[in-house]
Amino acid sequence: MLIFTFLFSCYATIALSQVVKEQARVITPFDQDWSFNQGDVQGAEKADFDQTKWRKLNVPHDWSIEGTYDKANLTARGGGYLPSGIGWYRKSFNLDESFAKKKVTIEFDGVMANSEVWINGFYLGKRPYGYISFTYDLSKHLKFGKGKTNVIAVKADNTVQPASRYYTGAGIYRHVRLVATDAVHIADWGVYVTTPDVTTQKATVKVKTNLINESAQSTQVTVETAVLDPAGKIVKTAQSKQTIAAGKNINVDQDIVVTNPKLWNLESPDLYKTLTKITVNGKVIDDQLNTFGIRAFKFDAAIGFWLNGENFKLKGACLHHDGGAVGAAVPLSVWKFRLERLKEVGVNAIRTAHNPVAPEFLDLCDQLGFLVMDETFDTWNSAKNNGEKGYNRFFTEWWERDTRDMVMRDRNHPSIIIYSVGNEIHDDLNSPEGFKKYEDQQDLIHLLDPSRPVTMALFRPANSKVYTNGFAETMDVVGQNYRENELVALHNQKPNLKVIGTENTHVIQQYLALRDNPFMAGQFLWTGFDYLGEADWPQITNGQGLFDRIGSWKQQSLQRQSWWSEKPVVHIVRREDNAGAGAWINNWTPTDFDTYDDAKVAIYSNCEEVELFLNGKSLGSKPKPTDDSPRLWDVTFEKGSIKAVGKNKGKIVSSEELKTAGVPAKIILSVDKNKISNSWDDVAFVTAKIYDENGNICPNADQLIKFTISGSGIIDAVDNGNITSHEMYKATQRHAYQGVCMANIKGNMPGTVEIKASADGLESGAIKLEVGNK
């Protein structure tokens, strides 16, 4: 029989046994023991189909990332030249007789794309948009009891290509759950929590609960909602009695006042919870736990963004949904690693470019203290890149349903401060039809979630006329990609408009547009990490990120840290002679050090004064420029070391030293954490770096590094961040790039894992880590 894990809704994973005695809603992860077959398998939807030759696996799963790069692949530049087509998934399961009187649904967090679902051969429906979460009611088509087997079948059809401007992945690439409730129950995403009145002394928590009665008779229920503080202690409870007629649904509104609340903010992202219990005659028939934060924010036309009475800039980055070597099926620890690296730069906000993200990504933003622009679509009706066959084919029929599902799923996250309904939309916005498309979407979001404003990323406003035809005035906040001077000019002409940069490059002029204009609420850099696709062969990755696919620092992340970080920063970079103007690399000398005599050295620093030393000899000090531009030196090359020292008020507060690299001699392994859990979402990042005999990194080393593993783990993927590398990710070896490559390690049972890395002519490296229980 299927064994259920008892959790309490909205993907919460904390134990509240001291609070919850009844456990009515039954949720089980449904990720294990699927079968997969790539191709258009006739009859695969039938319950009795023979699948003995199918591959056994667990989801989330992205089969496209398992393939090989090929310029001829139909996904083309948008999909990163990885394979497309049809993939089938099937899962068999049993249900106890006790579930025969329950409403049983299946929840998918995302299936890429054009998914179709069957239960025991019965067709449940189709969902074209691969990024959206959705549910199906299985109740009327299930078998219950001993020996009664149920079969769920899912078809993911990615044959129509190119389907996107960037990598989508393919398959059931996000989590799946089976949910059992009473016939009278809380609706999908049916608890909506807001905090409209907030001070440090007290806050009003408004809870709206949507209940559905799918039974054949009228039912009187009691709705009890408890607010739990960040420590899990109940601070206040409200009760309401309601009668729900058969086949109807109702909304129950409750206001709960919390005294001396801990406010959610970037430094202390304290999270509260609501525990909602539905009882009939004293028996709990449904319950749900929802996470929220107590905070107040606003966008102001004159002074930008405010959170809890504090005015500051949104220092944002755009992120696509892929995780590099893992493709679209991204373990949560990959996102945690990436968000923590962005926080080191000074990033405090994320734009979900350009589609709904996995719900656990938003959970992580809540927990780490990031603000979020939650985005729906990259296209409306008009395609991009002339040949794209993506969401534009489905917008008219599906935009309302997809927008509704995203907003209702996401609206309790305190990290979300604004919604975006489009990115560089090519539909005619200088027409009544264009106005209506935007207003319809904005109106729907206001209906579902009146607590947040709406924007979109406008594209070339001078051409689209949106700044002169009244379109901008219809927007809650005016968002624009690039061309910051046009956005600044708009506000100067119409100072009542609220404005934000929705997509921005790394150059100093765009940085200054944010720094020097109080009305500019923020900007979102393109992008936080390099992402798969949107690249011309032989490149397979767009390389505009602050970090590459494996999280290596780049010139733009070093410079951005000197602009956005609160801590003292000093970084040394050198212009490469053949790399073109503005191309800098952060090492002192490659192994071919004798090929040049002079070096152009730039220091990225926020310190008041920086002094540069070459082999211990001072090359002079320079003050911080008023425009925060880098401090430049022309340096005659010498083997040895170069060191930059940053000072504030005459005191050394930061420094960096780079040394000449010798001949590659050895591999040294490091890992981001010493213990992982035996969970799909937990990954350890083992980094292999090539050093010379003196312990200096060799930035030109490109040897093939072979990884081996023993004990309680597997090598899930390998990568090096090189945007032109066509090596496979699901492998055990990878060439080093700039002296570095990485292996993602997962646990498969409790115990110890040992990872070794070797390469011809180099001393091998090894490291161990522990694997615990889930």
Beta bridge partners of 520: 499
Residue 742 in contact with residue 549, Cβ under 8 Å?
A: no
> Any residues with CB less than 8 A from the CB of 180 and at least 6 apart, and which?
4, 25, 26, 27, 99, 102, 103, 104
- Exposed, middle or buried by CB within 10 Å (0-12, 13-18, 19+), for 463? exposed
- At 327, which amino acid appears? G
At position 189, the amino acid (one-letter code) is W
Which amino acid is located at 287 in the chain?
A: D
CA dihedral sign, ordered 173, 404, 527, 161: positive
Eight-state DSSP code of residue 355:
S
Burial of 293 (0-12, 13-18, 19+ CB in 10 A): buried
CA distances from residue 326 to 79, 86, 340, 725 in whole angstroms, order as listed: 14, 19, 18, 15
CB-count burial class (<10 Å; 0-12, 13-18, 19+) for 255:
exposed
Q: What residues have CB less than 8 Å from 375, skipping those under 6 apart?
A: 351, 352, 353, 354, 355, 356, 419, 420, 421, 422, 423, 457
Query: For tokens 């006329």, what's the residue?
Result: 465
Residue 363: phi and psi, rounded to 5, are -55, -45
Q: How far apart are CA 510 and CA 239, in angstroms?
A: 52
Task: Tell me which residues are annotated as active site.
Answer: 424, 503
Q: Give the Cα separation of 215 and 247 in Å (integer).
A: 7
Are β-strands 349-352 and 371-375 bridged in parallel, bridged antiparallel, or unpaired? parallel
Cα–Cα distance for residue pair 256/71, rounded to 1 Å: 59
Burial class of residue 158, CB neighbours in 10 A (0-12, 13-18, 19+): buried
Q: Please tell me the distance from the alpha carbon of residue 474 to that of residue 481, in angstroms, as a whole number.
A: 18
Contacts 24+ apart (CB under 8 A), 97-101: 97/144, 97/145, 99/142, 99/144, 99/180, 100/144, 101/183
Q: Which residue has the tokens 């030249």?
A: 81
The string over 229-253, giving b where at least 16 C-beta atoms fall within 10 Å of a residue's C-beta and e elsewhere, is bbeeeebeebeeeeebeeeeeeebe
Do residues 111 and 154 touch, judged by C-beta distance below 8 A?
A: yes
* C-alpha Rg value of the chain to the nearest Å: 27
- Cα(95)–Cα(151) distance, integer angstroms: 11
**Rounded Cα distance, 171 and 36, in Å:** 9
Q: Is 703 helix (H, G, I), strand (E, B) or coil?
A: coil
Q: How far apart are CA 628 and CA 466, in angstroms?
A: 33
Closest by CA to 454, choosing from 589, 224, 299, 343, is 299
Among 735, 738, 706, CA closest to 719:
735
The C-alpha atoms of residue 215 and residue 218 are separated, in whole angstroms, by 8
Is residue 410 helix, strand or coil? helix
Q: 396: buried, middle or exposed (CB in 10 Å: 19+, 13-18, 0-12)?
A: exposed
Amino acid residing at 284? V
